[in-house]
Amino acid sequence: MKRRDFIKNTSVAAAGITILNFPVFGKNAPSNKVVLAVMGVNSRGAYLAECYSKIPNVEIAYLCDVEEKAIQNGLKPFAQASRKPTVIKDIRELVQKTDFDGLVVAAPDHWHAPAAILGVTHGKHVYVEKPCAHNPYEGELLVQAMNKYGKLIQMGNQRRSFPTLINAVKEVREGIIGNVYLGKGWYANNRKSIGHGNKVAVPMTLDFNLWQGPAPRRDYQDNLVHYNWHWFWHWGTSETCNNGTHEIDCCRWFLGVDFPTKVTSAGGRYAFKDDWETPDTQVATFEFGPGKAITWESRSCNDFPVEGAGRGFIIYGDKGTLVNYGADNYKIFDNNKKLIKEVKSDVKGDSGNLVSSTGNLDYYHFNNFVNSIRGEDKLNSPVNEGYKSVLLCLLANISQRTGRTLHTDPTNGHILNDKKAMKLWRREYEKGWEPKV
């Protein structure tokens, strides 16, 4: 099937999934059906649940959320389904169930690693949305958990599964633009002010204790749930991890680098004066020893495009340049700025889409996870690889919050000789909610 037909086919009937003749869940299972549970279904998670349910021989058995309106939103796609998912609000109860194979985590960022760890320690494979960790300590715990329990953990940096980008990386490795030395990523949006919230009673529809989970308890305020938690350090990880993960990951992938030697960040909350704590404007730079670097530019509240696109990345080499425009499309130019190759796309990258900025292209990544559970494939972004890109974003946040240039160990990304910065390597946890491997 042609790529054009694939991405238009939301049923993904032709996504390349082969029905095998052996069971996935236990040797006595009646079929090789992959059964999933989805945590966090207000927005992206509801989309994930619907998408996974359309993959042949995949069933969504459980939805997990702590807010009634979100639960109803998550159930909408299953109104006509022969089996409607069972709703369980507490993730600790959900992972005790023995009748599903994989957990999909799309809850707020402070829940990503703790929920994923709960999943693998209870025998589940896990698909965890970016950024996969609220802090570097959690990212390292995730890698430990994957290695210890032998379960798959795929991170939701879906561009790693786009066939055109996989091919582009191959071309770059083969020298189409020579020695690559600089990657530049960007993200632009027109987010509005979140104002100043009022401390009010928790809505009857929300279990705020479960929503906070591992985070130390704070009072509820009326400009926090559902989306604005992104901009509070206590729960969120800033635009750097919210969207920068994708382009920074692509730059790291194309350059073939792992951990940095130096990280700097400049920016702040410039557009509005409100409760928003994280930067709405940020420029971060990552150096990787001699000869390679990545920069990332974020403008959360000014969506003037770069290269005509709200998001994307550029890879610079000594013989040419590759430009991506937010989805799976790209152009390659030689040193005379002559276009030597263009790969077009049916999908336009949409930086303002809060559910899926790359449309049905996401199915490639979902299929990769399901096929890997079946033993047909290998993960395109196991968490030990995906976390390296998240760590860059988290280090940029630490540099921003401390106002310091970070010097780091190129073997693992650990901060060197800076006690103030190292205080942000991990967070405090609500007693009894600490993630454990």
- Digit-coded pLDDT (tens) for 263-304: 999 999 999 999 999 999 999 999 998 899 999 999 999 999
Q: Say which residue the tokens 């700097």 belong to.
A: 264
Per-residue pLDDT reduced to its tens digit, 40-65: 999 999 999 999 999 999 999 999 99
Mean per-residue pLDDT for 143-170?
Answer: 98
Does position 5 have pLDDT exceeding 50, yes or no?
Answer: no
Give the model's pLDDT for residue 22: 35
**pLDDT at residue 289, as a whole number:** 87
Q: What whole-number distance in Å separates Cα of residue 133 and Cα of residue 432?
A: 19
Read off the tokens for 338: 């002559």
Segment 382-398 shows an average pLDDT of 98
Average pLDDT over residues 312-317: 98
Q: What is the pLDDT of residues 30-42, one digit of tens each?
A: 468 999 999 999 9
The pLDDT assigned to 294 comes to 98
Quick check: 248 and 393 in contact, CB under 8 A?
yes
Which tens digit of pLDDT belongs to each residue from 246-261?
999 999 999 999 999 9
**189-195 mean pLDDT:** 98
pTM beyond 0.95: the answer is: no
Could you tell me the pLDDT band of residue 359, with boundaries at 50, 70 and 90?
confident
Q: What is the mean pLDDT of the chain?
A: 93
CA distances from 44 to 25, 162, 168 (A): 26, 19, 28
Calculate the CA 334 to chain-centre distance. 32
Q: How far is CA 236 from CA 56, 224, 232, 278, in A?
A: 34, 11, 5, 9
Orientation angle between helical segments 44-53 and 362-373, nearest 10 degrees: 60
Contacts of 110 (CB under 8 A, 6+ apart): 134, 212, 213, 214, 215, 234, 235, 236
Q: How confident is the model at residue 24 (pLDDT cuts 50, 70, 90)?
A: very low
Q: Are the C-beta atoms of 119 and 373 separated by less than 8 Å?
A: no
Q: Over 70: is that where the pLDDT of 374 sits?
A: yes
User: What domains does the chain contain, in order, with CATH numbers?
Assistant: 3-158 (3.40.50.720), 160-195+221-353+381-422 (3.30.360.10)
Q: For residue 14, is pLDDT > 70?
A: no
Q: How confident is the model at residue 382 (pLDDT cuts 50, 70, 90)?
A: very high
The 10 Å Cβ neighbour count of residue 21 is 7
